[in-house]
Structure 1
Amino acid sequence: MKLKTSLMALTLAVITPLAAAANEGAERLSRLLEPLNTYAATFEQQILDSSGQRLQEAHGQMWLSRPGKFRWEVEAPYQQVVVSDGDDVYLHDPDLEQVTIQPLDTRVTHTPALLLSGRASELTDSYRVSRQQQGSAETFTLTPRGADTLFEELKMTFYSERLGYLQMTDSTGQRTAIEFNDVEYNPSIDDSRFVFDIPDGADVIRESR
């Protein structure tokens, strides 16, 4: 009995600091994200395989208004626009002259824009959060609590309390790394930015939930 009691005490002694650290990370991340109502930036995006070899890169601009509204414009090497008005998401591929419309999926794991435009509480409820700090850089590592996710791990790095870097790793080890530049915190963004007008002649594909 004494041995069992000792083992239980030792286990609790180890788990309690870990749980406290996790709670601290989630609380700190929430404090950084909660004041973020609107956000605008340019971005550089790279997709890397599990060995770190670059598979694809792109750059563009993005705007978001929480909760649920965003506009993500890829300018090169190909054009693509993703717009959410808070109810539906529009994906426009000019090369294919095609627009795909689907209901907004509020699961925070599916796209970088949706990840950022969701509520902070949804993010910390969906992920376990740990935190590391190096100088003015704070990096939060998030691992999903459930199996219904496209990503195995997320990393969010804030520089002087401003989000500047996001990395997502999927189950194959492939990473999507996004660096944000020319960042504006809580700028005034007209709601028309989050309205998508379907171009004349475009093929429209509607997907149900």
Structure 2
Amino acid sequence: MRDSQTLLSSPLSLAAAALGLTFATPAAWANDAAERLTERLEPLESYQATFEQKILDGSGERLQSATGEMWLSRPGMLRWEVEAPYSQVVVSDGSDIYLYDPDLEQVTVQPMDDRVTHTPALLLSGNIGDLTSSYDVVYNHENGEDVFTLIPSSADTLFEELNMVFDNDTLTQLWMMDSTGQRTLITFSDITQNGSINRSLFNFDIPEGTDVIREEF
């Protein structure tokens, strides 16, 4: 039997983990990195892609893998659908976040606040100025790709490090690491940036007979 808490927490944080590297970076370099990241993200009004997600423990052993599709639109709207091995849906309409598990017939509803919006996908849908002011940003060019490492300036986040990988101006990967050393790699494909997305995707109608758990912070 699957652990229901794991099922609910993993999609909200996009499983949440990655490479455990930190950098001592001069302030001028950090400012330049933030400017470079802003140049990549500011033009991004919408994003649609399929994804493959791998969760690894601290020793690199695979704990879980999943595939699915995601849609993102600014400001604050997200739909994240895990298709396999188990169906799960996360929807943000800009005010509330719905975490739906059809197998459990359960949906958890959380209001949008700073703790929730510091999950990786919702960071992309938010204000870029808030993003670069809340994280120390380091830039590296590796294997022909631009890699931005974000380290939270406060402890009130679901990850200790987030890495965004760009091929030219296209986001292709997210790497994350949480406080337990658990890492997650999310690889995107079939990517469409700034395309037309039906706004109804960001509305969630609670299915009849579903148990509803409302969480207030």
Report the TM-score when normalising by structure 1: 0.88
Higher relative CO (CA 8 A, sep ≥ 6), structure 1 or 2?
2
1:138 aligned onto 2:149: no
Q: Secondary structure at the match of 2:131?
A: helix
| Cα pair 2:56 2:64 within 8 Å, conserved | yes
1:118 aligned onto 2:135: no
1:199 to 189, 207, 212: 207
1:93 aligned onto 2:101: yes
Q: Secondary structure at the match of 2:189?
A: strand
- CA 1:109–1:156 in 2, change beyond 3 Å: closer, same or farther? farther
Q: Secondary structure at the match of 2:26?
A: helix
CA distance in 2, matches of 1:106, 1:36: 21
Q: Residue 166 of structure 1 corresponds to which residue in structure 2?
A: 174
Report the AA paired with residue 74 of structure 2.
Answer: R
Q: Secondary structure at the match of 2:69?
A: strand
Structure of higher CA gyration radius:
1
Q: Deviations over 1:48-77 (max 9, x none)?
A: 111111101001000010121000000001
Report the AA paired with residue 201 of structure 2.
Answer: R
1:149 aligned onto 2:152: no
Q: Residue 59 of structure 1 corresponds to which residue in structure 2?
A: 67
Q: Secondary structure at the match of 1:29?
A: helix
| Cα pair 1:68 1:84 within 8 Å, conserved | yes
CA distance in 2, matches of 1:102, 1:34: 27
Report the AA paired with residue 200 of structure 2.
Answer: S
CA distance in 2, matches of 1:73, 1:86: 17
1:177 aligned onto 2:166: no
| Cα pair 2:119 2:157 within 8 Å, conserved | no
Any unmatched runs of 5+ in structure 1?
Answer: 1-14
How many Å apart are 1:135 and its aligned residue? 5.0
| Cα pair 1:108 1:123 within 8 Å, conserved | no
Report the AA paired with residue 38 of structure 2.
Answer: S
2:197 to 164, 189, 196: 189
Q: Deviations over 1:10-39 (max 9, x none)?
A: xxxxx9x81111000000001100000000
Report the TM-score when normalising by structure 2: 0.85
CA distance in 2, matches of 1:40, 1:184: 5
Which stretch has the larger CA shift, 86-95 or 147-156? 147-156
Report the AA paired with residue 137 of structure 1.
Answer: E
Any unmatched runs of 5+ in structure 2?
Answer: 1-23
1:46 aligned onto 2:54: yes
| Cα pair 2:56 2:62 within 8 Å, conserved | yes
* Number of equivalenced pairs: 194
CA distance in 1, matches of 2:116, 2:216: 18
